[in-house]
Chains A and B, each alone.
Chain A
Amino acid sequence: MVNRRTFLKGTAAVAGLAALAGPRRSWAGRENELNILCWEGYNTDDVLGPFRAKHPGSRVRAESGTSDPDMINKLRAGEVNVWDLINVNQPWARNQLYPEGLIKPLNRARFEPYFDLMLPEFQGPYPLALDESGKELIGMVQRFGPFSFVVNTDKISRQMAEDQGYKLFLDPKMKGRYGVLTYDNWNIMHMCMAADLNPFAPLGESDFAKFSKVAKAIFDGAKLLTDDLVGMNTALINGEIDAYFTGGTYTASPARFDGQTQVRGITPKSGPVNGKGGVVWVEVTSAVNNPDPTPLAEDFLEFVQQPEICKVVAFAEGTYNPVTQMANPKVMALFDKDELDAIQWDSLPEEMERSVDYQIVVDYNRLNELYNAAKRS
């Protein structure tokens, strides 16, 4: 039998091991270490290689998440002492990570000048890169893109799609001719707008009923659901579907860069949010509130503002996206015509004009329940 003494001995051994493993981390010092949790792109060698060359002997690691909440879960599960930078879409940083103390403010004096070099929308600095009080700078912005829905312009004209907006998907003639890209947190916003609701304002019971009806109708008419943008584009190109809900330059650009320019992200001309119907995402890269911080975190944020690196981030891997630094002629000079066409540069200003920022959906929890119930049925 196991007696008390052997048990204690065992416990002591485990405790000893833990003691050995524990402090070593802090002794080691983290001046030369950087761990980045990001959307795909920042984790490529094209980005990290030059940075490593600049900081010889440093250990730079980046891991890409599959969704904002997926990455945020990691911090919530206690990985704040692992990561140094986190790269998520704008509302998460301001409304969840910062209030929960998972990220910390940046040196505003050091970074504010960079905002002056960005596209006009982001100058000033960009409001969602600041905390609620507007005093602290909580992250840097780089990649962004309008995100509403995508059509095959050989089948549905851009003009018609922009005029109809999300109602396109409620048209009985579209039944079985579109897919739903299951970026669930996005779809909830867009389904609200399809139901003429403003997702960023509090909703009432009758609104929930409207939402439910629209959500069911959209899922009901969908030919396929997938969270895989390549699969979705493939279905769009081979004619299995003619449009998908939701998407934008982020999802359309890989197909467009392959020459399939009939795949196009569409921003509706009008909508229920102050007359706008498009949504734009902006990545905010913030410093994780790591108890054992590294100076490399802010260095990296500064590093990616260089024109060459901006271009690499924009066309890194998988998807291609505009970057805020494209106001800088030095950055623009690095893009060729095909690349600009892939990210729909021609219509970007007007699309931005028709879009509102991705924000926290006030009644997200309730809407999420309704959304999942509709998806299931």
Chain B
Amino acid sequence: MDRIEERQGLLSALPLSVLMVLIFVAPLIVVAVFSIMPPRVFDVLHMPSFENYRIFFTQGYYRSLGWALGMAAMATVTLFVICYPLAYAMAKIFKKFTLIITIAVVVTLFVSENIRLFGWVLTLMKGGLISGYLRTYAGIDIDGWLYNVPVIVFGLVYVYFPFMLFPLVQGISMVPEEVRQAASDLGASRTRIFFEIDLPLAMPGIVVGSLLTFVLAAGAMAESKLLGGQAVIVMADEIEAAFTFGQNWSLGSALAMILILIIGSLAFFALSRVDLDGIMGRRG
């Protein structure tokens, strides 16, 4: 009996599995195969070569990777620090106001990222919204704030804010209030409760939020292009340049593979350590 049911399960999962493989895995395989083709070929019928991976190390592409990962990490940490108190309030303190915040944050997602970033360009640039007002009303002449690394991180923080906030709210709302009270009753200070109760119990939300923001930020390039004026070149930019202006698909594939492998293993490692069922609400 069990075997038949098992088989039915597998069979009914088959069409979707095939679809998933086609949609998600096949393109990755194409990229992987291209990455071991010699430079500047446009099909995969060549002798494999690891030339492109060598180029990654010899031509300083690791620097772009470093910037991408570094700024993503900065953005993730900043977002965590900013979002945690807000998420805490949304999960535990605000009642109807939580809905208002949620709607306000979600509404921003309806506007394209590039347009929102361009809004910031107009706000922060020399003679823009801020410096223009300062000059007119305060007589202070300042340069813009654009075209440097901090403003790129700011852009990442701004764009990926919802991706940290909502998982955190979800994670924090999973911490039972009574457990916190019990810890307090047993003599634990606020700091102690934060580290011993809040953080570990909200961990699934924290991990999911951090992972989302980090992965998205590491692959982002609009921020560095629009706000940062490419003060530093990020990995996604290099990949695009290799595919287009470089007309070097295999190098682009190799760069993409490196980014995918690093981020993929990070995601795998992080998710294997948290109880995802918890945040999906399947735990009692």
A–B touch (CB < 8 A): the answer is yes
Interface of A toward B, CB cutoff 8 Å: 1-2, 6, 10, 14, 66-67, 69-70, 72-73, 76, 179, 182, 184-185, 223-228, 231, 234-235, 238-240, 365, 368-369, 372-373, 375-377
Query: 5 tightest A-B contacts by CB?
Result: A224-B229, A225-B230, A238-B127, A184-B245, A69-B244
B125 at the interface (CB under 8 A from A): yes
Q: 10 pairs across A/B with beta carbons < 8 Å?
A: A6-B11, A69-B245, A72-B247, A223-B147, A223-B229, A224-B147, A226-B229, A234-B121, A238-B126, A365-B40
Partner of A235, one of B59, B125, B230, B238: B125
Please state if A73 and B244 are interface contacts (CB–CB under 8 Å): yes
Residues in A whose Cβ lies below 8 Å from that of B247? 69, 72-73
Partner of A373, one of B42, B59, B127, B243: B59
Main secondary structure of the interface of B (DSSP, over half): loop
Total A-B Cβ pairs within 8 A: 96
User: Given the complex of chains A and B, what is the CA–CA distance between A83 and B11 in angstroms?
Assistant: 40
Please state if B127 and A239 are interface contacts (CB–CB under 8 Å): yes
Residues in B whose Cβ lies below 8 Å from that of A365? 39-40, 246, 248
Please state if A227 and B225 are interface contacts (CB–CB under 8 Å): yes
B18 at the interface (CB under 8 A from A): yes
B7 at the interface (CB under 8 A from A): yes
User: For residue A369, which residue of chain B has the nearest CB?
Assistant: B59
User: Given the complex of chains A and B, what is the CA–CA distance between A67 and B244 in angstroms?
Assistant: 8
Please state if B60 and A376 are interface contacts (CB–CB under 8 Å): yes
Residues in A whose Cβ lies below 8 Å from that of B63? 376-377
Classify chain B's interface size: 35 or more
Residues in B whose Cβ lies below 8 Å from that of A226? 225-226, 229-230
Please state if B229 and A234 are interface contacts (CB–CB under 8 Å): no
Residues in B whose Cβ lies below 8 Å from that of A231? 118, 121, 226
Main secondary structure of the interface of A (DSSP, over half): helix
Shortest A92–chain B CB gap in Å is 10
Known: A238-B125, A238-B128, A373-B60. A182 touches B230 (CB 8 A): yes
User: For residue A3, which residue of chain B has the nearest CB?
Assistant: B7
Please state if A2 and B18 are interface contacts (CB–CB under 8 Å): no
Q: Beyond A69-B246, A238-B144, A368-B245, list 4 extra A-B contacts (CB 8 Å).
A: A73-B249, A231-B121, A365-B248, A373-B60
Please state if B42 and A76 are interface contacts (CB–CB under 8 Å): yes
Please state if A1 and B230 are interface contacts (CB–CB under 8 Å): no
Known: A67-B245, A70-B244. A240 touches B125 (CB 8 A): yes
Please state if B241 and A372 are interface contacts (CB–CB under 8 Å): yes
User: Given the complex of chains A and B, what is the CA–CA distance between A226 and B225 in angstroms?
Assistant: 6
Partner of A224, one of B61, B64, B146, B241: B146
User: Given the complex of chains A and B, what is the CA–CA distance between A185 and B14 in angstroms?
Assistant: 47
**Contact flags B113-156 to A (C-beta < 8 A → 1, else 0):** 00000100110011110000000000000011011000000000
Partner of B7, one of A1, A10, A182, A184: A1
User: Given the complex of chains A and B, what is the CA–CA distance between A376 and B67 in angstroms?
Assistant: 10
User: Given the complex of chains A and B, what is the CA–CA distance between A73 and B147 in angstroms?
Assistant: 30
Residues in A whose Cβ lies below 8 Å from that of B122? 234
B233 at the interface (CB under 8 A from A): yes
Shortest B49–chain A CB gap in Å is 16
Residues in A whose Cβ lies below 8 Å from that of B61? 376
Shortest B198–chain A CB gap in Å is 41
B10 at the interface (CB under 8 A from A): yes
B231 at the interface (CB under 8 A from A): yes
Residues in B whose Cβ lies below 8 Å from that of A182? 230
User: Given the complex of chains A and B, what is the CA–CA distance between A255 and B94 in angstroms?
Assistant: 48
Shortest A76–chain B CB gap in Å is 5
Shortest B48–chain A CB gap in Å is 20
User: Given the complex of chains A and B, what is the CA–CA distance between A365 and B51 in angstroms?
Assistant: 15
Shortest A233–chain B CB gap in Å is 12
B residues 199-240 near A (Cβ < 8 Å) are 225-226, 229-231, 233, 238
Known: A2-B10, A224-B146. A376 touches B225 (CB 8 A): no
Residues in A whose Cβ lies below 8 Å from that of B226? 226, 228, 231
B residues 253-282 near A (Cβ < 8 Å) are none
B residues 34-56 near A (Cβ < 8 Å) are 39-40, 42
